[in-house]
Amino acid sequence: MATYNYVAKDALGKVITGTSEAENEQILVRRLREKGYWVQKVNAARAAAAAKPAKKGSQGSVMGSFGRVSGRDLAIFCRQFATMIDAGVSLVRCLAVLEEQTGSARLRQIIREIQTSVESGETLSRAVSRWPRIFSNLFVGLVRAGEVGGVLDEALNRLAVFMEENERLRRKVKSAMTYPVMVLLFATVVVIGLVTFVLPQFIKVFNDLGIGDKLPTMTRMMVQISNFLTTKWYMAILGVVILFIVTNTYKRTRIGRRHWDWLKLKVPIFGKLNHKICIARFSRTLSTLLTSGVPILQALETVAGAVDNEIMSDAILAARAAIREGEQIGDPLQRSGMFPPMVVQMVAIGEETGSLDQMLSKIADFYESEVDATLGSLTAALEPVMIVVLGVVVGFIVISMFLPLVQAISSLQSGAMEKGKSNGGG
């Protein structure tokens, strides 16, 4: 859970400044507005532990500062942590053993900082919340619930299972996209090679034959592209870099993030896949939190920050507000239009029967299997489509290169035939 500094005004116009923890900036703004404040500014506060310099001489401190922690490393960390807690090992001792045992330099440094915070009297949930880029809102929420309920080992075990399932889903999406991306890169390299190295040689031949100014339309278009890439290639690279920077900068803004998340849900083919992934993540995360004893309102606030989509987050936060007003969870989910009727009905039945966590787990299982099936069919459909597209592009370039030669040969043959007729007639 991240920490934010905010500036707001109350109903009397008095300026109020303060610091508060929240899953993300939008949730904090919504919370302040519910208190009747008019929010003027919200900035992320740098975590004190993150800003703390590394210990002198500590192994891996330099590499750890720039490394990353994979989902697999975190899952192993949770599984080993839960095993030692269940065996009665003290919290500080567990962290010391985990620091020695982990293979990630970055995670080793973080565990060392967490151990220092715990030894100074902080709770484990407070200590891990200082690293929001490593430990998600779900992680912090489940650890806090485990501490309050005295079942930290069970909470860590659920976290390990959740992370393993999440990592499995990420690997499937990544492996399904590997082949299309490789084909696309190969096609790009082939096209650039043909246009920048092969086509200029043909242009020289056309000029030697005296047909450089009588080229067909498609050949002239390819010649212009070739001239641009060979003489002004730096402008093409600069344009791509500028487009990349502008796009990423816009995506970091609040409006840009919303537009990007909306596009991810609406784009043909991939939109349905992203929607199913969001629903699976919503169901699995909420089920894990409810099973661990986290209250529904707090659980929904955590889930809103864990689905990684602003459009879905808004729908979840609207459902949370409606539940706080006394409504059941199924009605606001249905009004949002972001949840299919089957999900709404199963959630409503789970709430009525008191088995909402189990029903959400079944929904997550169903949508994860749907994601697997969609990825399989998508991969099978993309392979022939990309091969056909590659063939069309390469074929267009080849035809544009050979068409002037065919026309030149045809004109030479017709000229020779006319010359023969005139000689025969004479």
pLDDT in tens, 232-289: 878 878 888 999 899 888 888 888 888 888 998 888 878 888 898 889 888 888 888 8
Each residue's pLDDT tens digit, 110-160: 998 998 888 888 888 888 888 878 887 778 877 887 787 777 888 888 888
What is the residue range of 16's domain? 2-45
Short-list 293, 299, 337, CA closest to 315: 337
Residues 16 and 67 in one domain: no
Residues 132 and 88 in one domain: yes
Residues 36 and 68 in one domain: no
Report the C-alpha gap between 59 and 285 in whole angstroms: 35
pLDDT recorded at residue 123: 87
Assess if residue 15 is contained within a domain: yes
Residues 77 and 21 in one domain: no
Residues 156 and 66 in one domain: yes
Assess if residue 279 is contained within a domain: no
The residue from 161, 196, 218 where one domain ends is 161
Residues 105 and 140 in one domain: yes
Q: What is the CATH number of the domain that holds 69?
A: 1.20.81.30
Each residue's pLDDT tens digit, 405-421: 777 777 666 666 666 66
The residue from 116, 131, 161 where one domain ends is 161
Which phi and psi (to 5°) does residue 20 adopt? -150, 155
Q: In what order do the strands lie in the sheet with 2-9?
A: 15-22, 2-9, 38-44
Assess if residue 196 is contained within a domain: no
Assess if residue 72 is contained within a domain: yes
Assess if residue 143 is contained within a domain: yes
Mean pLDDT of 336-362: 89
Percent of the chain with pLDDT over 70: 88
Assess if residue 384 is contained within a domain: no
Assess if residue 387 is contained within a domain: no
Number of domain units in the chain: 2
Residues 90 and 143 in one domain: yes
Residues 83 and 145 in one domain: yes
Residues 86 and 157 in one domain: yes
Sequential DSSP letters for 285-352: HHHHHHHTT--HHHHHHHHHHHS--HHHHHHHHHHHHHHHTT--SHHHHHHHS-S-HHHHHHHHHHHH
Residues 108 and 138 in one domain: yes
Each residue's pLDDT tens digit, 186-211: 878 888 888 888 888 888 877 777 77
Residues 103 and 131 in one domain: yes
The residue from 161, 182, 217 where one domain ends is 161
Assess if residue 328 is contained within a domain: no
